[in-house]
Amino acid sequence: MTIEEEFAKVYGLEPITSKTVPGRVNLIGEHTDYNGGLVLPTTVAKSVSVAIGEAMDEQFCFTSAKFPDPVRRDVAAVRNGHWSDYPLAAFAWLKEHGYWRRGAEVYIDSDLPHGSGLSSSAALIVSILKAVVALTGPSLSDVEIARAAQDVENRYLGVPCGIMDQMAVALASSDQALMLDTETLAFELIDLPLDYAFVVAHSGIYRRLDEGRYAIRREECEAAASALDVSLLCHLDTDSAMKRIDTLEEPFCKRARHVWTEHCRVAQAAIALKSGDLNAFGQLMTESHASMRDDFEISLPVIDEMVEAAVQMGAAGSRLTGGGFGGCFVSLVKSGHIDAWQKEMSTAFPEITFV
């Protein structure tokens, strides 16, 4: 059934608006977004869909394919650790800015695995914002929608995320990567190769960005930037960045080294992608994972094993993707080798699933 039909089945009437938004995979550029750096995400085939109707009262009712029992919420109490915090927070923003006035009935469906590092939360929030704004106006650009979605997570949900996820799901397409400067929001869409594919696999380990470890890394980056007398780590001068970073105490030296080198890797990866040098791109992916493992310390031993095996089995490069501490990894594989590669990986790691 369509999302509109699912809504009608649950609520007994047609929705007044609906929207589908894809998830995203970050090809390279992890934890650079809130440090003013470069990122290079693209969308994935899986997505989040929402259908929305207006309620007769001030209450918000949420149901989903995964959570079929209706839950009723008051917009005055957004954060209570429930799965419906995210859609409720989106409506809190819409009410604050005059796009929605009463309660709502909402049905949500998604084939994006939650806690996988594929931005299911950003896709859900962006889908609600786009659906309502398109209905009630005034219109917002995709960049403005992305900024609003980030505001929803930062202010209403207390997740100190950057802007990458929201920009990626709002702007990118499945056949292009989004080269984004997260400070200026200047972006370029780069065509993806036809003879290679970025294959996403879920490690089987789920994580939550609001559980604390993500926030700790951000705080460490902010402390490192303060010690280096810059507002953001990616404001460092290219010629002296590494020399200055090496003067920091641990763990701040490691955190800053990852952010700066990752920022530089994204610039190199964009050049490699545009020139068709996929071997160079793959090498940068593998270097990125090593940096996340050793300097930013957000990987896990089992994911390290998966990434190493992915390359040994023929991938040009592989890396953890997303906030870390679980979720997905992405590998660059020749198009004609994907089936055999996936079979070999599944045999070695039965717990993984391909997205």
Task: List the catalytic residues.
Answer: 165
> Residue 36: CB partners within 8 Å, gap ≥ 6?
182, 183, 231, 232, 233, 234, 235
Buried-state track 207-237, b at ≥16 Cβ within 10 A, e below 16: bbbbeebbeebbebbbbbbebbebebbbebe
Residue 243 neighbours by CB distance under 10 Å: 10
Strand partners, 197: 333
Buried-state track 80-103, b at ≥16 Cβ within 10 A, e below 16: eeeebbbbbbbbbbbbeeebbeeb
| Amino acid letter, 1 | M
Cα–Cα dist 147/124, whole Å:
14
Cα–Cα dist 211/191, whole Å:
36
Peptide bond into 251 cis (omega under 30): yes
> Residue 5: CB partners within 8 Å, gap ≥ 6?
none
| Amino acid letter, 84 | S
Within the chain, what is the greatest distance between any pair of CA atoms? Answer: 65
255 with 295: CB under 8 angstroms? yes
For helices 338-348 and 301-312, angle between their N-to-C axes, nearest 10 degrees: 140
